[in-house]
């Protein structure tokens, strides 16, 4: 929990709705870009306490062997998924966004070897196609830029014809966005070049965990070094990265997904809109609830936005 649960009632609600379940709480800091390691130390201790609760509840000790296997599996997943993200920036048709979202969600839901292997096979297939087109150098430069959070050294490339859309937001389900886009007449998800969503790009581009360090400290470092969320500090860092990314990757427009509990201070969406406006990029703000209940309105608003981009 953090400012996504700023009323501090999430645990109480779960205790009522799922009275027979064990409730665990993990509090992580919102601090980013601090001049010390206090946030990493705090989160590392929180993760260790959570692990001990699991040990007590399940009567199973922490296993170093299992931990190292898990770290290796997640690293394998991220390397393949990161390549797919970078490849779609250059040629979005090479892999439907809906398929990328499905693969990522499948692994995050059940992080097992079979799913990681499926993603690896898709990655190899996409790599073969992009090598044939001579795009590997550009893709590698984009991949490096994403990993280092520095887009300044991305190799120039000519994007394919058509609108290029970036989806930004917090804990919005990428598969749901793909379904909405593909449900609009005359439009498919090849217009979605990239997302900056919690369960998409931000989960995929968390840095790898060092197996040789203290497990809880290294997990904390990875979590806190992942791309920032609206609930965390570092707004101007996120906006600078966004502006550089939009310019380097030939983005034509931004779909800003708004969820009040993901941005309780209401800073993120207006800041994104302002940052995009400064560099001449059009935006549309889409207020969402977790169930995407007003889908017809959402589709009309997105369709109108995309049609307007096509006319400019």
Q: Which two tokens stand for residue 115?
A: 């799913």
> What is the percent of the chain with per-residue pLDDT over 90, rounded to a whole number?
67
pLDDT interval class at 3 (50, 70, 90): very low
101-151: pLDDT as tens digits? 999 999 999 999 999 999 999 999 999 999 999 999 999 999 999 999 999
Q: Which CATH class is domain 3-310?
A: alpha beta
Task: Please compute the mean of the pLDDT values over residues 198-217 and round it to a whole number.
Answer: 94
291-302: pLDDT as tens digits? 667 788 888 999
Find the angle CA(184)-CA(273)-CA(282) to the nearest 5 degrees.
Answer: 50
Quote the pTM value: 0.90
pLDDT interval class at 7 (50, 70, 90): very low
Q: Which two tokens stand for residue 301?
A: 């608003």
- Contact 84/126 with Cβ under 8 angstroms? yes
174-197: pLDDT as tens digits? 998 999 999 988 899 999 999 999
Give the pLDDT of residue 101. 97
Q: What are phi and psi of 195, to 5 degrees?
A: -120, 155
C-alpha span between 134 and 209 (Å, rounded): 32
Sequence-ordered alpha helix ranges (H) in the chain: 10-17, 38-58, 64-90, 97-109, 113-132, 136-148, 174-182, 201-204, 215-225, 235-248, 268-278, 295-310
Q: Comparing C-alpha atoms, which of 229, 237, 93 is closest to residue 168?
A: 229
């Amino acid at each position: 929990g953090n400012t996504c649960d700023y009323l501090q009632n999430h645990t109480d609600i779960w205790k009522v709705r799922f009275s027979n379940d064990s409730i665990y709480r993990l509090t992580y800091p919102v601090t980013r870009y601090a001049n010390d390691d206090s946030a990493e130390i705090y989160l590392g201790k929180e993760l260790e306490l959570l692990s001990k609760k699991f040990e007590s509840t399940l009567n199973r000790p922490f296993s170093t062997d299992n931990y190292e296997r898990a770290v290796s599996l997640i690293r394998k997943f991220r390397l393949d998924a990161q390549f797919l993200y970078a490849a779609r920036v250059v040629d979005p048709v090479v892999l439907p966004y809906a398929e990328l979202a499905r693969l990522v969600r499948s692994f995050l839901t059940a992080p097992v070897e079979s799913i990681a292997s499926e993603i690896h096979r898709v990655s190899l297939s996409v790599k073969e196609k992009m090598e044939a087109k001579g795009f590997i150098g550009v893709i590698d430069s984009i991949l490096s830029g994403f990993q280092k959070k520095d887009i300044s050294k991305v190799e120039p490339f000519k994007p394919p014809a058509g609108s290029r859309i970036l989806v930004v937001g917090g804990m919005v389900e990428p598969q749901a966005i793909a379904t909405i886009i593909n449900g609009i007449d005359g439009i498919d998800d090849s217009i979605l070049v990239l997302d900056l969503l919690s369960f998409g790009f931000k989960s995929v581009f968390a840095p790898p965990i060092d197996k040789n360090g203290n497990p809880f400290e290294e997990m904390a470092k990875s979590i806190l070094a992942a791309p920032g969320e609206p609930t965390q500090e570092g707004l101007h860092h996120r906006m600078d990265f966004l502006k550089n990314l939009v310019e380097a990757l030939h983005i034509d427009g931004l779909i800003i997904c708004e969820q009040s509990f993901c941005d309780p201070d209401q800073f993120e969406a207006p800041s994104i809109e302002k940052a995009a406006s400064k560099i001449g990029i059009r935006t549309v703000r889409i207020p969402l609830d977790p169930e995407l209940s007003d889908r017809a309105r959402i589709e009309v608003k997105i369709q109108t936005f995309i049609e307007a981009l096509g006319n400019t």
